[in-house]
Amino acid sequence: MSEFVRVASVAEIPPGTSQEVVAGNRVVAIFNVDGEFHALDGICPHAGGPLAQGKVVGGVVACPWHGWQYDLKTGRNCVNANINAGCHAVRIQGDDILLEVS
Ligand code: FES
């Protein structure tokens, strides 16, 4: 059964930034793209790179270690659709960012 847990305040992740958080037993990367929040697993499926430190362009994050790219809305790798960085539902409640964890 899944639930939403608070992981940060909206003010802590301004537009154009990202942050790594821990939600339940997972490391998650949260991205604020022009006020819209997205959340992927924070650990790159390739070799464990920190996705929260990746550069975001056009709704896609590039892993800082070897450049694999993931769509922020789906978590899907941009080259191989069979690879997914794990997408998490985000809910904004007042000034709080909540993430769905199972
Ligand atoms: S660890 Fe992310 S691309 Fe290699």
50: left (phi over 0), alpha (psi -120 to 50) or beta: beta
CATH number of the CATH domain containing 77: 2.102.10.10
User: pLDDT class for 91, splitting at 50, 70, 90?
Assistant: very high
Instruction: Give the nearest ligand 1 atom to 49 CA.
Output: 1
pLDDT tens for each residue of 41-85: 999 999 999 999 999 999 999 999 999 999 999 999 999 999 999
Q: What ligand 1 atom has the least distance to the C-alpha of 51?
A: 2
- Structural domain that includes position 46: 3-101
How many Å lie between the centroid of ligand 1 and the Cα of residue 1?
30
Helices assigned H by DSSP within the chain: none
Rounded to whole angstroms, what are the CA distances from 46 to 14, 24, 52, 70?
Answer: 28, 22, 15, 11
Which atom of ligand 1 sits closest to the CA of residue 66?
A: 3
Encode burial over 40-61: b for 16+ CB neighbours within 10 A, e otherwise: bbbbbbeeebbbbebebeeebb
Between 28 and 102, the more confident residue is 28
**24 falls in which pLDDT band (50, 70, 90)?**
confident
Q: To test ligand 1's pocket by mutation, which of 41, 66, 83 has the most ligand atoms within 8 angstroms of CB?
A: 66
What is the total count of domains within the chain? 1
List residues near ligand 1 (CB under 6 A). Answer: 44, 46-49, 63, 65-68
pTM, full prediction: 0.95
